[in-house]
Chain A
């Protein structure tokens, strides 16, 4: 029967079968619950834009059944042994969080380092582009009076 409900959701039933499935849905509460669950899953997978869970009736009923407590709750001190256990658990959790944060930070730093390696200007392009290089050399002399000189490196051949 649930297969029919699933097929109904996917719009894969013909008119007669769809009509039968809807009749079953109205008659069977378990099937109705399944239908609601499938709809919820579908909404969640579509990004939650239409995610709706109507629990107002259930919550109201539960609240109505809850007893009204007028006396305040008495909070006593925890036994020392229990406290030690809680402290130990908190320390472990704290260490785990700090470790996880550090690991995340290392990852992001690695990404930044990798990105910067690939994003530095490369003069190799200019070697293959004499027009571009010639333009760049002259472009800085906009006022005409400027004299441009290039120092030739000690161990390399001149490239002017």
Chain B
């Protein structure tokens, strides 16, 4: 009887033993805030597989409004500017502008979501060892998928004083790094000069600033089978880049707080060839559902994205 009681209470308490204490999640929340709001200037490395590039970043905060400018130091010239809640990508030519848009998908060190509590539904948080990055002492933390192999493992080294993320590594199931961000040098004092939020490149007299074209529209289809932990961030009817004349495509974006995937729904006859390549941690999966083609693109392991694509169902709204 006593043995049975031990097992009963053991099963009940097991999740509590494994779960990270609230203080750990609170610390991660501070890290998310520092990553978006802390004044800083420095440079960082971004590595995907064997490819790498560096950026210089400057950030100042005035009356709660962030003025941030990051400039690529390698390859095509690009600028990514944050002014309050506006994000501007700028480049001297069309080709470089594409690269700027790709670079703006993840804005290190701001990779954690504002609401880190949502991560607890999908990830286990654990504390690892100490390290030194950009001449600063930091503490490693790991976010590992609760369902083995469903998501990449994320490791972040937080500055021991400010909790600013200094290094971020995305690991696959073999514990190989598929993506890495790391500060090379960092100064967390306010930049000496005012951070300019004006792009350095001249604008077209006619086009000026153009918003990304995304047409909010009525959707006649309901999506079922989205895995637990993922929430819908945005849903738009949009034109695909480089296919202005083609019919609109339903584009839905889901996230669990760290992993983000896009779902494109369109008539199979209109579908464009899906890319075979992957971009670092980003995988691509396609599946046909009746007369529709589903295309999924996201930073999830390939097998995981394929499984999501197979499980999705489309239901016509009445």
Residues in A lying within 8 Å of B, measured CB to CB = 116, 119-160
Contacts and interface: CB of A to CB of B under 8 A. Distances in A.
Interface of B: 48, 50-53, 74-76, 85-107, 113-114, 199, 201-205, 207-214, 233-234, 238, 240-243, 251, 253, 255, 260-262, 264, 272, 274-275, 277, 279, 282, 284, 295, 297-299
B212 A149 contact: yes
Given A130-B242, A135-B298, A149-B211, 5 more contacts: A121-B76, A128-B275, A140-B105, A147-B211, A156-B97
B208 A134 contact: no
Given A139-B260, A140-B105, A153-B92, A134 B241 contact: yes
A123 B93 CA distance: 12
Given A123-B99, A146-B86, A131 B242 contact: no
Nearest to B264: A131
Contacts of A131: 240, 262, 264, 272, 274-275, 284, 295, 297
Nearest to B199: A151
Pick the most buried of A116, A120, A147, A149: most chain B CB atoms within 10 A of its CB: A149
Nearest to B205: A154
Contacts of B103: 121
B184 to A, nearest CB: 15
A120 B51 contact: yes
A47 B241 CA distance: 57
B89 A135 contact: no
Nearest to B78: A123
Contacts of B101: 126, 133, 136-137, 150
Contact of B106 (A120, A139, A150): A139
Given A119-B52, A147-B86, A141 B234 contact: yes
